[in-house]
Structure formats: structure tokens, C-alpha cells
Structure 1
Amino acid sequence: MKKLFRLFLKPIVVLAICALANVSNAADKIPVLASFSILGDLVRVVGADRVTVSVLVGPDEDAHVFEPKPSDAKNILQAQLLVTNGLGFEHWAQKLIKSSGYKGLVVVASQGVIAQNMPTEKGDSVETDPHAWQDPSNVAIYVRNIAAALSKLDPAGARIYQLNSEVYTNELKALDADAKIQISLIPVAKRKVITSHDAFGYFGAHYGIKFLAPQGISTNIEPSAKQIAQLIQQIQMEKIKAIFFENMSSSKLLSQLSKDVGVTVGPELYVDALSKADGPATSYLKLMRYNVTQLVAGMKKN
């Protein structure tokens, strides 16, 4: 009877030890807060099971118009690492950091990226385009910066973070090569696209596509009647039929634009945010592949 009891007890002890180990591992994970969903995905890729990741601006949400809540200040205090894009994308970040009293590590993922400038709405000056992740080669810089920050917090995992970033960089190169092949099949004269806001500057420069938008870099700036009229004239003159809006933007303006010029709006693109779990862009790699597919299909109609 005692022998049978010992045999029965042994599996229970093993299960208890495993359960305690899991609790310990969960407690040891580095809590990371990313400013928006695309960065959150990159942190998960690099950090894997050594991190827990949350985001301030979630899937299908717009970081341009985001307003931090008191609960966000609480969330930031629970993080050991805050990951931001920089380049002026999160205009609310510094205020949130200051008001919350956050003293943890902050990493600007775009550090080292060669930033692009674009004319302001008035056209008399320029402003920095923050959408650097639209070029996969820039995202390779993002993941290196994230890996370095995680390694600083967790030296024991430094080799893992480095390997994860290297593997992901190879995936980015494969994605980039495939995108270039697809876009190369479109005649240069047809590589023109209308989008709801000016978020594809890096994408356009990298792949040789001309993007036009009724809104500027930020979605919270309404275009003037004159700007819309000029865009309609250009669409009609150049016979552009590749018209798209984004998942985190209102489609009202672009739908009206397509109605005025008699062109059907294409499927929504994913630019500043991932899709929700049931969408086609639940990761950065999926987002880029999906966008390339839709853009190529649209440009073929030009």
C-alpha cells in the first residue's frame, strides 16, 4: 500500500514542481510596453518567451489621434521597457512619460534610421515623416535596437535576442525581395497610388511608387478644398484607378473622392496599425505582404 502511495505521489510532486517553475518563469519575464501594435509585434518577435508585451495603441487604432488615459499612466509604470517609434510619431509620448513618473528604460526603435522629410500643409517648410517601418530595411534597424535594449535589461538573454533579430532580419530580406519582384512587373508609368493619408513615403521611395494623398502625414489634419480639387484633377489627368484607404482612417473622404472621379476604392490597407486577430495583417510581415498584393493589383488597373 505504501509503495502504491509513493508511486501515486511522485507524479503529483512533479506536476507541482512544473507548475511552480511556470509561475517563476512568468514572474521573470520582462514587462514591455510598446507605443503601437506594429512595435508590439516586433518586440514579441525579438523577446519571444522572455517578455510580456502590451501596447498603448492597439490593432485598427490610430496613434495620430491617440489621447492617453489615466489607465495608460498606470500601465507604463508596470513596464521595465517602453518602446516608441520616434520621429515625431507619438506626439503624446513625452507628456505621458512625465505625467506618469516613469523611470524605466525607453528605446526609440527608429534610432539610426535615415529620416525622410515632406512638405507641410502650407508647403513653406518640411516635417519629418515618421512612417519609417514602411521600408523593411528600416525595420531591421528597429529589431536591432529592440534587441539591444532587451539585452541591457536581461544580459542572460542577450544571445537569444541577437539570434531572434538576425533570423527576423533574414525574413525581412526575403519579404523585400519578393515585393520587389511583384512591383517590377508593373510598368513604371503605372506605379501611382492614391491613399487616404500620406503614410507611404518610405514605401514609395524604396519600391519606386508615387503615392498621392488628400491628407498629410497625420490623419488628424483635414485637407483643404483646394488640395482635394488639385488631387481630383491629377487623378483624372493621369488616369489613376489605384485608390485605397487605411484600416485606422475614416473612409468617408476617400469614398467621396472616388465617387467624384468614378473610381472604385480598393480594399483597405494596413499602415499605422495591425489588423485585429480575425484580419489579414496580424503581424508586420503579414501586413506588408497583404499591402503589396493589394497595391500591385490596384496599379495594374491604372
Structure 2
Amino acid sequence: MPKKLFRCAKSIRQAVVAAVTATLVLTVAACSGAAGETPDDGRPVVLTTFTVLADVAQNVAGDKLRVESITKPGAEIHGYEPTPGDIRKASAADLILDNGLNLEAWFSQFVEGLDVPHAVVSDGVEIMQIGEDSYQGKPNPHAWMSPVNVQLYVDNMVTAFSKLDPENAAVFEANAAAYKAELQTVKDEMIQKLAGVPESQRALVTCEGAFSYLARDAGLREVYIWAVNAEQQATPQQITRAIEYVKANQVPAVFCESTVSDAPMQQVVGATNAKFGGVLYVDSLSESGGPVPTYLDLIRHDSNLITAALTGASS
């Protein structure tokens, strides 16, 4: 085929694909009554990228906005792949909230072509950088693991919600003030409990490097097997490095997160005198009947588990 005709045919194919995609987006947006979805109750819809943000946002929104999460409880957020149902929900939303800091690698493609405003709730956070692997120099995205940072998340949500629904701006402000007081209480409780951990044992060894902000708040040294959850993780070199650190520093307990396999950390346990301290929650809340149905529960659960395991106390 002559080059000119080839380019013309290629352009036509691209135009057809774009038209079909646009039609699908419009179609799914129109299907607001699809099975399994919450019926429209007239309130503006705020869609968050994962469950932690949804819980925080619900505390700020109260009953004035309908808050939903794209991902379900227990989902791994880093490599999430949006479904057609997610696109339908996003198309019908009035506002989308994302964490930012490169957490949702799929987000830009997810919202491309959607005429829906969105806000990055981590704006203003004092960012900690990842110190190694292919992610070296990039921001650590897990800023919500600090209750202090989440107070900034709340402020950003108030701004976005007040722009979306100005009539209820005062309600959002009042809800935010009450919730920020709870966040401060949880942070103070965490510091008080972890203060009893001896200096020699103040190391938080986990599967993923997701606890930089919590460790900074609590005065713990952070050690991990891999920096960020990915399809391929836990190389022999990474496991060996963790084993050597635990042995050299006589770390009494190690941990892993709820959204990944703890098999690599169990290798560390098997090669050292450390015990497996338990499952920590980071990227996702649990179901309502589970151990961490809210963000405040998540921080309390993690700090209690860490303190108990490092001090040898019963949880």
C-alpha cells in the first residue's frame, strides 16, 4: 500500500476507535440505573480512588454528598485496572478525588476524556522521597499513613466540596474541624503507646516501604523488603538484605501488609529470631465487619499491633 494511503487508512482507523470510545463513555454514563449500583438520591456524587479516601471524605461530607470508592475493600491500589463499571461511575460523578504522588498510576488514563473535575487531596503535604530501586527520588505516595497529613487532606476536601456545593460550605467546615480533632487524638495516642518501645527495638520492618510517614511521626526506623508494590517484587537480594538487618539489630518482630502475600516476610522470620508481628493495613480498609472499617481504626490497629509486637506485650 502506498505510504499516503497507509497514513490515510491509519487515520481513519484512529478516528473510528475514538468515536467508538466516546460512544461507550456516553452510553455507560447514561446507564445510571445499572444493576448493583447505588440509585441516584439527588446529592452530588464524590468518587474517590480507594477506600481510605472515601472514609475520610465521608466524614467531611456528612450527609450532604454521596461518597463512593472506585476500588473495593481489600483491593491493591497501585496496579489497579479500572473496569467498564468504574468508567460508568466516573462519568456520572460530580467530583473525583485522588491521592496523587504517583499512587494511582492508572488514574490519568482512567479520567482521560471525562468531563469531570478532580482534586488531588495530598496537595501541601511535606513529601518524603523513596530512597532506592527504580522509584528512587520519587515521592512516597503513602502520605495518609500520617494522621497529621490527613488533616491537610481534610482541608483540601473542604475546599473541593465547598466549590462543588457552596450552600453547605459551613457544614463541611464544621465536620472537618470535628474530624481533625479526632485525627489529632489518634496521632497523640499512637505516639504515647510507641514511646514505650526501647530505642534498640524502634525499627519497623515491613514488606512494602509504605510506612515512611507513620515512622516519621512515631520516631521509628523504617526498613522494608521492596519500596513500592509491583507485579514483580521480593528478589532474593531484597530478602537477604532484610534478614541481615533483622539479625544485626535483633529486631523482635516484622510485619506485612494486608494487600500482598506475606511469604517473603515469612522467609525473613524463618531465617532469624524475629516473630511475625501480624498484618498491617495501608492501601485499603476492610469490610464493615472487619478489623479496620474506618481510617481511624486503621491507624489505631497498626499502632497497637506494632507496639505489642515490638515490646512483647499482648495485643
TM-score, L = length of structure 2: 0.83
Which of residues 129, 135, 147 is equivalent to 2:140?
A: 129
Q: Which residue in the other structure is 2:121 paired with?
A: 109
Structure 2 Cα separation of the partners of residues 248 and 106 of structure 1:
26
Structure 1 Cα separation of the partners of residues 226 and 98 of structure 2:
24
- String of CA shifts for 1:95-114, please: whole Å, max 9, x gaps: 0001xx22122010001111
> What is the correspondence of 1:266-277 to structure 2 with a 5 Å cutoff?
266-277=277-288
Query: Given that residues 98 and 121 in structure 2 are in contact (C-alpha distance below 8 angstroms), is that contact kept between their aligned partners in structure 1?
Result: yes
Q: Which residue in the other structure is 1:238 paired with?
A: 249
Instruction: State the Cα distance separating 1:30 from its structure 2 match.
Output: 1.2
SS in 1 for 2:226: coil
Instruction: State the Cα distance separating 1:28 from its structure 2 match.
Output: 2.9
SS in 2 for 1:104: coil
Query: Given that residues 208 and 229 in structure 2 are in contact (C-alpha distance below 8 angstroms), is that contact kept between their aligned partners in structure 1?
Result: yes
Query: Given that residues 183 and 207 in structure 1 are in contact (C-alpha distance below 8 angstroms), is that contact kept between their aligned partners in structure 2?
Result: yes
Q: Which residue in the other structure is 1:83 paired with?
A: 97
Q: Which residue in the other structure is 1:151 paired with?
A: 162
Structure 1 Cα separation of the partners of residues 308 and 51 of structure 2:
26
Instruction: State the Cα distance separating 1:71 from its structure 2 match.
Output: 1.7
Structure 1 Cα separation of the partners of residues 255 and 63 of structure 2:
37
How many residue pairs end up in the alignment? 274
Is residue 285 of structure 1 aligned with residue 296 of structure 2?
yes
Query: Given that residues 135 and 203 in structure 1 are in contact (C-alpha distance below 8 angstroms), is that contact kept between their aligned partners in structure 2?
Result: yes
- Gaps (5+ residues) in structure 2? 1-39
Structure 1 Cα separation of the partners of residues 269 and 182 of structure 2:
36
Q: Which residue in the other structure is 1:201 paired with?
A: 212
> What is the correspondence of 1:178-193 to structure 2 with a 5 Å cutoff?
178-193=189-204
Structure 1 Cα separation of the partners of residues 232 and 64 of structure 2:
40
> What is the correspondence of 1:204-219 to structure 2 with a 5 Å cutoff?
204-219=215-230
Is residue 251 of structure 1 aligned with residue 251 of structure 2?
no
Which of residues 168, 178, 181 is equivalent to 2:179?
A: 168
Query: Given that residues 247 and 273 in structure 2 are in contact (C-alpha distance below 8 angstroms), is that contact kept between their aligned partners in structure 1?
Result: no
Instruction: State the Cα distance separating 1:122 from its structure 2 match.
Output: 5.5
Q: Which residue in the other structure is 1:224 paired with?
A: 235
Structure 1 Cα separation of the partners of residues 312 and 45 of structure 2:
46
> What is the correspondence of 1:57-96 to structure 2 with a 5 Å cutoff?
57-96=71-110
Q: Which residue in the other structure is 1:300 paired with?
A: 311
Structure 2 Cα separation of the partners of residues 184 and 264 of structure 1:
21
Percent identity reads 28
Q: 1:122 to 1:29 in 2, by over 3 A?
A: closer
- String of CA shifts for 1:53-83, please: whole Å, max 9, x gaps: 2111221111012111122111100100100
- String of CA shifts for 1:122-161, please: whole Å, max 9, x gaps: 68x4221000011111000001111111110101100000
Instruction: State the Cα distance separating 1:267 from its structure 2 match.
Output: 2.0
Report which stretch shifted further, 214-223 or 78-87.
Answer: 214-223
Structure 2 Cα separation of the partners of residues 190 and 181 of structure 1:
16
Structure 1 Cα separation of the partners of residues 230 and 198 of structure 2:
30
Q: Which residue in the other structure is 2:274 paired with?
A: 263
- Give the counterpart letter for 1:34 in structure 2: T
Is residue 39 of structure 1 aligned with residue 39 of structure 2?
no
- Gaps (5+ residues) in structure 1? 1-25
TM-score, L = length of structure 1: 0.87
Q: Which residue in the other structure is 1:29 paired with?
A: 43
Structure 1 Cα separation of the partners of residues 181 and 116 of structure 2:
31
Query: Given that residues 143 and 149 in structure 2 are in contact (C-alpha distance below 8 angstroms), is that contact kept between their aligned partners in structure 1?
Result: yes
| Superposition misfits of 4+ residues, deviation over 3 angstroms | none
Q: 1:122 to 1:44 in 2, by over 3 A?
A: closer
